[in-house]
Structure 1
Amino acid sequence: MTLDEKYRDELLLALRLHEISGERVGEVLAEVEAHVRETGEDPEEAFGKPREYAAQVAEQLDSRTGKPSTLATVASALATAALVMFGSDFALDALFGDADVVAYTLKDTVSLISLLVLFVAGMMLLFKAYTARAGNKAYGIAAIGAFALGILAQFAAGQLVDDVTPLYQLPSWLAFVLGAAALTGAVLLLVRAARRGRVVYPKAG
């Protein structure tokens, strides 16, 4: 008997959302496939639902056995999001601005940073809502709250923070160079994450 493709795909997704390394994901999938092939047993009866089994696997791992620490995961997500947000902001302002100098007010900075922090928090809570073994609804509600606060923060910043006096200014060419460099850094981080998450089956033998 071969492993049901739907079960395999759901298990693969669940393992990825736990930030488990591609090598360990390959080992888990190979173990499940081998068990089903040898015994003919239904995978859900043998291992449980994909999300539950992925959570069980993740609990047994640490940074030495295929799972980064929570701090490392949050730092990587925050760094990638920051590079994308600031990079696109700098590059677009430089390309489409009318002046030779790009000016940023306190409101611009507060809005961007608050959006960044709350967006990353919301995404992390969404992942937690999917991967947690308990309290999923609470994490989901908290994620929605974080996204809502991110939107409200933009309106609040427009009303409460100075949007006239430049906090700092950059020549357009420098803003574009910094933006392009930041976006390049974000791409490199994403490529690194994709390589780490690439499923690698154990070698036979």
Structure 2
Amino acid sequence: MMTLDEYTDDLHKALRFHEISGERMGEVLAEVEAHVAETGEDPVDAFGRPRDYAKQVAAQLDPATGKRSTGGMVLAFVAIATLALFGQTFFGDGLALDEAGVAYTLRDVVAQPLLLVAVVVVFLLVHLARTAQANNKLYAGGAVVAVIAGVGAQMLCNKFLDDEAPVVTAPSWLILALGVVFLIGMFAMLAHSIRRGRVRYPNKN
């Protein structure tokens, strides 16, 4: 038997994973709390497991009623991952402030985008494994395969691609500035996501 606090805590986490707005999450949590307070019923008996109930709620929503579209969610994650990966890379490289500039080799140019693709694919498959109504184990297996493929791709890049001759060279100050801009963009998007997911109960701000 789960207490109401345990149930709503798990339900809140599950709803967040479905990218449901804080306003709609507040409505769902309020409905659960009101029902249990009125009937004394075990929340699992009344609504099912938190993860399963979150799936039911998400299936009834669309972008107009509090759920971010799958495409929008993927684009947001791709943007955040891109800003994070290249932001920290450029920031670290630019800090050297080498007068000769920062040089990127063929390995750098190929390996970094491949890493980004692997991260995005793994995220998407893990998300589907947690939220899809069916084929969850298939998605989870796909995520494992994607991790292995991503690691393998990095190993192949390290072994076969040239890491000596520069392909692209840019001034250190420019690379550092790009790193700062990218990191600021990443934090701004994360802050927006946090605000969007903040639970807002009905008639409460």
Decide: shared fold, TM above 0.5. yes
Distance in 1 (CA, whole Å) between partners of 2:160 and 2:71 is 32
Q: Which residue identity is paired with 1:50?
A: P
In structure 2, the residue matched to 1:125 is 125
Distance in 2 (CA, whole Å) between partners of 1:91 and 1:55 is 40
Q: Which moved more, 1:135-144 or 1:172-181?
A: 135-144
Question: CA distance change for structure 1 residues 140 and 99 in 2, over 3 Å: closer, same or farther?
Answer: farther
In structure 2, the residue matched to 1:167 is 167
Distance in 1 (CA, whole Å) between partners of 2:53 and 2:124 is 20
* C-alpha deviation, 1:99, in angstroms: 5.0
Q: Helix, strand or coil for the counterpart of 2:37?
A: helix
Q: Which residue identity is paired with 2:132?
A: A
The sequence identity of aligned pairs, in percent, is: 50
1:115-156 CA-partner distances (Å, limit 9, x unpaired): 011112112211221222322221111111112211111111
In structure 1, the residue matched to 2:198 is 198
In structure 2, the residue matched to 1:24 is 24
Structure 2: gaps of 5 or more residues:
none
Confirm or deny that 1:101 pairs with 2:101.
yes
* C-alpha deviation, 1:178, in angstroms: 0.5
Q: Helix, strand or coil for the counterpart of 2:64?
A: coil
1:172-200 CA-partner distances (Å, limit 9, x unpaired): 11110000000000000000000000000
Q: Helix, strand or coil for the counterpart of 1:133?
A: coil
After superposition, residues 56-205 of structure 1 pair within 5 angstroms as 56-96=56-96, 98=98, 100-203=100-203
1:4-32 CA-partner distances (Å, limit 9, x unpaired): 21111110010000000000000000000
Normalised TM-score (structure 1): 0.93
Q: Helix, strand or coil for the counterpart of 2:102?
A: strand
Distance in 2 (CA, whole Å) between partners of 1:99 and 1:203 is 58
1:34-61 CA-partner distances (Å, limit 9, x unpaired): 0111111111111111011000000001
The answer (yes or no) to whether the contact 2:105–2:167 under 8 Å persists in 1 is yes
Q: Which residue identity is paired with 1:37?
A: A
Q: Which moved more, 1:58-67 or 1:89-98?
A: 89-98
How many residues get paired?
Answer: 203
Q: Helix, strand or coil for the counterpart of 2:7?
A: helix
* C-alpha deviation, 1:98, in angstroms: 5.0
Q: Helix, strand or coil for the counterpart of 1:68?
A: coil
Q: Which residue identity is paired with 2:198?
A: R
The answer (yes or no) to whether the contact 2:11–2:51 under 8 Å persists in 1 is yes
Distance in 2 (CA, whole Å) between partners of 1:119 and 1:97 is 29
Q: Which residue identity is paired with 2:43?
A: P
Distance in 2 (CA, whole Å) between partners of 1:141 and 1:97 is 44
The answer (yes or no) to whether the contact 2:126–2:143 under 8 Å persists in 1 is yes
Q: Which residue identity is paired with 1:39?
A: T
In structure 1, the residue matched to 2:42 is 42
